[in-house]
């Protein structure tokens, strides 16, 4: 017994046999589908990852200067009855010591987004900002840089030390940071050498 399958004419004429239509209720969208065993690390534009910012820096410089100068002059005068002699000594020394030390530390966690993918260099360009307001004090952290996909951990995190071309900004504004900015009068008098 031969059974005939009759398909509607609209289904035969549609491209892809109707598969180009948006998925209906209960259907799986092949574009947005993520398998249970799929790698969840960021790899395309729009993906997010967490940066573990752990930055410490320390710089020091020291200089010593020692100098000494001595000038000695002596003269003598002899006559028949008397001998006269005199000496003049001028000496000076200078010693200078200078030292400067600067250190800083920053620890934070920041979610960033992939904004560009460089296929030739196999890097992801990332950018992210975060602002926190505590007791009227606004603290802002921003990060931009490039990462290699293989440096991203299995939990979708990356330490800041593995980011190339990293620019990390940490700024604060409010009641605490305001006194740290010198007034214009102080800066002018300091520049004139009055303070």
Tens digit of pLDDT at every position of the chain (195 positions)? 455 555 454 444 444 444 455 556 666 555 555 555 556 788 889 899 999 998 887 888 777 777 776 767 676 767 777 777 777 677 767 777 778 787 778 888 999 999 999 999 899 999 999 998 888 888 899 999 999 999 999 899 999 999 999 999 988 876 555 555 556 676 777 777 776
**Does 2 map to a domain?**
no
In this structure, the answer to whether residues 74 and 140 fall within a common structural domain is: no
On whether residue 16 sits in a domain, the answer given is no
Domain match, 117 and 163 both: yes
In a domain, 155, yes or no: yes
d(CA 62, CA 37): 56
Put simply, whether the predicted model's pTM sits higher than 0.75 gets the answer no
Tell me if 150 is assigned to some domain.
Answer: yes
Q: How far apart are the C-alpha atoms of 46 and 116, rounded to whole Å?
A: 8
**How far lies 152's CA from each of 52, 61, 83, 159, in Å?**
11, 36, 93, 8
Q: For residue 76, what are the domain limits?
A: 61-100
Are 75 and 105 contained in the same domain? no
182 lies in the same domain as 107: yes
Token reading at 44? 């395309």
Do both 128 and 177 map to the same domain? yes
In a domain, 133, yes or no: yes
Are 90 and 145 in a shared domain? Answer: no
Q: What angle do CA 132, 136, 141 make, to 5 degrees?
A: 25
> How many independent structural domains does the chain possess?
2
Q: Do residues 90 and 125 share a domain? A: no
Q: Are 31 and 51 in contact (CB under 8 A)?
A: no
- 8 A C-beta contact, residue 150 and residue 124: no
- 123 and 173 inside one domain: yes
Distance of CA 3 to the CA centre of its chain: 71
Residues 105 and 132 both lie in one domain: yes
Handedness of CA 107, 111, 114, 119 (dihedral sign): positive
Same domain, 114 and 153: yes
Q: Supply 169's token pair.
A: 């900004």
**Token pair of 107 as six digits:** 């620890």
Q: Are residues 144 and 121 in the same domain?
A: yes
Question: Would you say 170 and 139 are in contact if contact means Cβ atoms under 8 Å apart?
Answer: yes
132 and 152 assigned to the same domain: yes
Among 75, 100, 125, which residue terminates a domain?
100
Alpha carbon distance 85, 8 (integer Å): 133
- β-pairing, 164-173 vs 123-134, is unpaired
Write down the pLDDT at residue 18: 43
């Amino acid at each position: 017994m031969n059974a005939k399958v009759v398909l509607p004419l609209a289904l035969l004429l549609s491209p892809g046999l109707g598969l180009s239509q948006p998925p209906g209720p209960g259907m799986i969208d092949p574009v947005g589908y993520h398998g249970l065993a799929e790698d969840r690390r960021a790899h395309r534009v729009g993906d997010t990852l967490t940066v573990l910012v752990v930055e410490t820096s320390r710089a020091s410089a020291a200089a010593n200067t020692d100098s000494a100068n001595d000038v000695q002059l002596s003269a003598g005068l002899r006559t028949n009855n008397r001998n006269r002699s005199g000496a003049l000594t001028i000496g000076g020394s200078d010693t200078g010591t200078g030292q400067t030390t600067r250190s800083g530390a920053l620890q934070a966690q920041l979610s960033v987004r992939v904004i560009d993918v460089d296929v030739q260099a196999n890097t992801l360009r990332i950018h992210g900002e975060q602002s926190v307001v505590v007791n009227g004090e606004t603290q802002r952290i921003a990060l931009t840089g490039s990462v290699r996909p293989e440096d991203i951990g299995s939990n979708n995190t990356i330490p800041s030390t593995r980011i190339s071309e990293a620019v990390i900004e940490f700024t604060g504004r409010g009641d605490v940071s305001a006194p740290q900015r010198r007034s214009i009068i102080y800066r002018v008098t300091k520049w004139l050498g009055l303070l």
